[in-house]
Amino acid sequence: MKLYTYDPAPNPRRLALFMQYKGIAIETRQIDLGSAEQLGEAYRAINPECSVPALQLDDGTVLTEVIGICAYLEALHPGKPLLGTTPLEKAQVISWDHRVFAGMTMAIAGMLRNRSKAFENRALPGPLDVPQIAELVERGKLQLAHILPKLDTELASRAWLAGDSFTFADIDLLVSVDFMAWVKQSIPEECLHLKNWYERARAELGL
């Protein structure tokens, strides 16, 4: 297997923390997003979606979505499970993971890509040139203002997002919280449960 990634970016970091927690090592090549290497013909031949991370299997199959890569690696390395062990746990982890990614990660990405000159005509990742929409910056702020207090309420009654165990949902939430700094946002002072969870998650990952 070979992993194509770019360590500084949030999406690759989700996978990197998953692998680190489970002790998985894979041959890795960095794709420099800063120089738009992901849009070059060499990388397009590997992943036409022009995104990272991408995991190329030994038979040539390429997995391009983080949750799919994690599911594949979890099946190969079941120790220290991060995607749940029972049908209900698995459903809860995936549900929370989707909720965080759709309601928080994508909101932050929308804010970043629609206000920065570095992303002019590149408001969405991938092979298409997409114009920026300035109004999406304010929409992202509204989304964060909505989801953060809800997460705080959820974490008032349990240690981890999807239940009693640390899971990939917690990794995704931690990455999203750190990603907020890219758009000059942070956990509100009044969200004490979320702040306490953040410190627990960092300790669990050895950060």
Q: What is the dihedral of CA 39, 42, 48, 50, to 10 degrees?
A: -30
59 and 107, same domain (yes or no) = no
Distance in angstroms (rounded) separating the CA atoms of residues 57 and 52: 15
100 and 199, same domain (yes or no) = yes
Residue 81 lies in a domain: no
97 and 198, same domain (yes or no) = yes
119 and 198, same domain (yes or no) = yes
Q: What is the pLDDT of residue 118?
A: 85
Q: What is the pLDDT of residue 125?
A: 86
Among 33, 52, 76, which residue terminates a domain? 76
103 and 13, same domain (yes or no) = no
Distance in angstroms (rounded) separating the CA atoms of residues 202 and 207: 5
DSSP letter at 160 equals B
113 and 149, same domain (yes or no) = yes
Q: What is the pLDDT of residue 129?
A: 87
Q: Which domain CATH number covers 189?
A: 1.20.1050.10
116 and 187, same domain (yes or no) = yes
112 and 46, same domain (yes or no) = no
Distance in angstroms (rounded) separating the CA atoms of residues 142 and 107: 9
Token digits for 141? 């702020």
Q: What is the pLDDT of residue 112?
A: 94
Q: What is the pLDDT of residue 123?
A: 84
Full domain range(s) for residue 194: 87-205
Residue 155 lies in a domain: yes
Residue 136 lies in a domain: yes
| pLDDT by 10-residue block (mean), the chain, 207 residues | 97 98 98 94 96 97 97 97 97 97 96 90 86 94 97 97 96 98 97 98 98
Residue 82 lies in a domain: no
Distance in angstroms (rounded) separating the CA atoms of residues 63 and 178: 25
pTM (predicted TM-score): 0.94
91 and 57, same domain (yes or no) = no
* Residue of 194, 95, 74 whose CA lies nearest to 144: 194
107 and 191, same domain (yes or no) = yes
Among 76, 105, 121, which residue terminates a domain? 76
CB 49 within 8 A of CB 128: no
Among 76, 95, 115, which residue terminates a domain? 76
Q: Which domain CATH number covers 58?
A: 3.40.30.10
48 and 121, same domain (yes or no) = no
118 and 24, same domain (yes or no) = no
Q: How many residues in total does the chain contain?
A: 207
Peptide bond into 87 cis (omega under 30): no
